[in-house]
A = this chain, B = another copy of it.
């Protein structure tokens, strides 16, 4: 986290995409001094009139005040501003929290010249501390004036908390014969579990797509991406994923899309889904203390839902995750995690693979199993665990990282 000497994750990307400008989106970052001094802790995006918006949020029963605000604002379907602060989550702050959100929206609306209900707000950081929204006075006005269309890396940096690297993904795709652009940014990096994570992510596109169609695509797209990742099984009170479509590409001849069923949307849908996948994997790869990225696939379960529960049981098992950190092909712990999931399982039908190596079959160690080959495989950074349950056709893949001493270190004194 800020001020601590946590090294950049070894799983960080080696290069970043060019900062594509999104027609209709300008943004700026600033220092509001929410919690830390000398740190850009506010990100503000200003969107063109007519921008439509969709979103998905934490499943927590105790969501933060900004999440409640966004859920309400989404009903309007249009957005003109996004304000994100780090350092304070404004969660579990009671009436004061709701007042802080209201004040933030009012300040932003004044700065941009829009209705407060067109302002979307996220806060990330410590839970339970009152957020002093008066600190946004002046700051948001300055942001609105200074807002430019790049560079996106600055935006991604401004929303980081314990992240060790900024997360940006871009796509350009044809929509009705016209190129449209997407840029997504995200932050992790702990308290990451489906559905969502302390995970904030924002996707911006100039495509002229309706809020309803965006919402449908988003709800579909998160299933295999943001709702299939876990760092530590903990779910934040603040998880937010918003998609803004400025409609600006209509000026260049892109057709307006009302329905997610529109066949002209096929390429966009695929690009959008892959962008969500890329961002979500970036979050896992920056999981606190992560040294390995692990894809867990369960197939042959009685249903897809059952497969996902078993996959998450494996991906969340501290014993599986510490074994991976130790580069130990400890498939016995995988069996344990299958067994504890509570889903239909028959021990003597299980096959378990690390990468392409089948280590166990029909309820026992594979006779052809080579410890040396598996140990060599475990030394890689990108690992795959696959469990074939032999019961049905249910299948799911989830993504996680290993559990290292650094995770404990990072989280053992976060507030101090």
* Residues in A lying within 8 Å of B, measured CB to CB: 58-63, 89, 91-97, 126-130, 190-191, 193, 232-237, 316-319, 322-323, 325-326, 328, 330-333, 335-345, 347-348, 350, 360, 362-365, 403-405, 407-409, 411-416
- Give the residue of B58, B61, B62, B336 whose beta carbon is less than 8 angstroms from that of A62: B336
Residues of B within 8 A of A129 (CB): 332, 365
- Give the residue of B233, B330, B347, B415 whose beta carbon is less than 8 angstroms from that of A414: B330
User: Do most interface residues of chain A lie in helix, strand or loop, or is the interface mixed?
Assistant: loop
Is there contact, CB below 8 Å, between B364 and A92?
A: yes
Copy total for this chain = 2
Is there contact, CB below 8 Å, between B364 and A96?
A: yes
Question: Once bound together, how far apart are the Cα atoms of A360 and B237, in whole Å?
Answer: 16
Residues of B within 8 A of A325 (CB): 408, 412
Question: Once bound together, how far apart are the Cα atoms of A350 and B62, in whole Å?
Answer: 10
Residue of B nearest to A369 (CB): B128
Is there contact, CB below 8 Å, between B95 and A336?
A: no
Is there contact, CB below 8 Å, between A323 and B61?
A: no
Residues of B within 8 A of A93 (CB): 363-365
Is there contact, CB below 8 Å, between A191 and B342?
A: no
Known pairs A92-B360, A234-B336; A318 contacts B62 (CB<8 A): no
Residues of B within 8 A of A91 (CB): 332, 335
Q: State the Cβ distance, A88 to closest chain B Cβ, in Å.
A: 10
